[in-house]
Amino acid sequence: MQYTILVELEHTGHGVLIPIQRARQLTPFILELIERDHITPLSLPTESCHIWTYQRGKAILRTDPLEARRLFTKSIELYPNRPAFEALFIAFLRHDLIPEAVSTLKDYRTATGTDLKLNKGVLALMETKGISVAELAP
């Protein structure tokens, strides 16, 4: 017999295995599932996990943009990652916080050694805000 079990984990996204593994719960979870057909409850870190803070920021961006920006920043502090840098940049841009947006792009370059790749929609938004990609060149 085949069946599917849904285990919901708030604010983890498709990268859910990473925080489970870092919390040292992945192997016991899988072994318990395979050997005993039992779902072990997971207790994952929240504010100490870059994926959780990023996903939580995305979830509340429209209702609490200030807290979302704090969470994106926290995600970057925990583990510099492109999605959080991009989300933080766009959040600053949409709220006309241009110096902070530009600083975020420069911080990404410093952290990774590369420029943040932006899609056409974001580039168009930058243009409406008066930011030229050329002026951001190192």
Residue 4 confidence (pLDDT): 76
pLDDT tens column, 56-110:
999 999 999 999 999 999 999 999 999 999 999 999 999 999 999 999 999 999 9
Q: How confident is the model at residue 123 (pLDDT cuts 50, 70, 90)?
A: very high
Which domains, ranges and CATH numbers included, belong to the chain?
50-136 (1.25.40)
pLDDT tens column, 102-115:
999 999 999 999 99
Please report, for residues 49, 73, 134, the alpha-carbon distance to residue 84 in angstroms, rounded to integers and kept in the order given: 12, 7, 23
8 A C-beta contact, residue 72 and residue 93 = no
Residue 136 confidence (pLDDT): 72
